[in-house]
């Protein structure tokens, strides 16, 4: 018996078909997580070269590679986190689904507890922390539940598939300093492969 694998092309086709109906976040997550689970259950659905760290540059143990960019805004990337790598609290300003393809990653979620009346300042409190393993998915809900920190506490690279509703390149996002409360605006300028 031959096992039929779910491909990246099938995943993006299914997601694009769903997005044409202009669904709400809950519909996107209800259907999208099922499809993303199918995709990440087969690591070979993502070419091996997209599952490796860069090996050069300022973050040689990291890689962020674009796999798909649709006219709808749908964006799919492969992200490699090197052993011991850490990225502090940040937001996305769009819905997102993150699925673990290989190894494990610890995500810490934060919530804002300030009244948002001081520009450039946010007081965050840790909400929860979880370690995600292959086949598991975490969701990003704009404004409601999207500030998170990522840590690879293992001794080998972790590979994730990130799915976003908007092209992160050029989208104004925010990083948060837990000690000072300072908010820093930033934009993703490019991916490592384009």
Provide the domain limits for residue 17. 8-186
pLDDT for position 141: 94
Residue 191 lies inside a defined structural domain of this protein: no
| Mean pLDDT over each residue of the chain, to the nearest integer | 95
Among the listed residues 91, 114, 97, 106, the one whose alpha carbon sits nearest the alpha carbon of residue 180: 114
Q: Is residue 2 part of a domain?
A: no
Q: Is residue 109 part of a domain?
A: yes
Indicate which CATH number applies to the domain containing 70: 2.60.120.10
What is the count of structural domains for the chain?
Answer: 1
Is 192 within the bounds of a domain? no
Of residues 141, 151, 112, the one with CA closest to residue 25:
141
What's the pTM value of the predicted model, to 2 decimals? 0.93
Kindly state whether residue 194 falls inside one of the protein's structural domains.
no
**Is 142 in contact with 94 (CB distance < 8 Å)?**
yes
Whether 3 is covered by a domain: the verdict is no
Residues of the chain with pLDDT under 70: 1-4
95 assigned to some structural domain: yes
How confident is the model at residue 7, as a pLDDT? 96
CA–CA gap between residue 188 and residue 176 (Å, rounded): 16
What confidence score (pLDDT) does residue 1 get? Answer: 43
């Amino acid at each position: 018996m031959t096992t039929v694998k779910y491909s990246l092309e099938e995943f993006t086709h299914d997601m694009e078909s769903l997005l044409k109906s202009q669904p709400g976040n809950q519909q996107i997550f209800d259907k999208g997580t099922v499809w993303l689970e199918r995709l990440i259950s087969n690591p070979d659905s993502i070419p091996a070269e997209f599952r490796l760290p860069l090996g050069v540059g300022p973050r040689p143990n990291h890689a962020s590679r674009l796999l798909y960019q649709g006219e709808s805004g749908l964006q799919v990337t492969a992200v490699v986190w090197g052993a011991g790598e850490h990225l502090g609290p940040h937001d996305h300003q769009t819905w997102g689904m993150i699925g673990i393809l290989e190894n494990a990653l610890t995500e810490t979620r934060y919530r804002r507890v300030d009244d948002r009346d001081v520009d450039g300042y946010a007081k965050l409190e840790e909400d929860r922390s979880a370690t995600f393993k292959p086949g598991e998915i975490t969701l990003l809900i704009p404004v409601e539940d999207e500030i998170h920190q990522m840590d690879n506490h293992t001794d080998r690279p972790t590979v994730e598939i990130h799915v976003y509703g908007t092209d992160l390149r050029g989208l104004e996002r925010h990083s948060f300093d837990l000690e000072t409360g300072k908010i820093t605006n930033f934009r993703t300028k490019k991916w490592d492969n384009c």
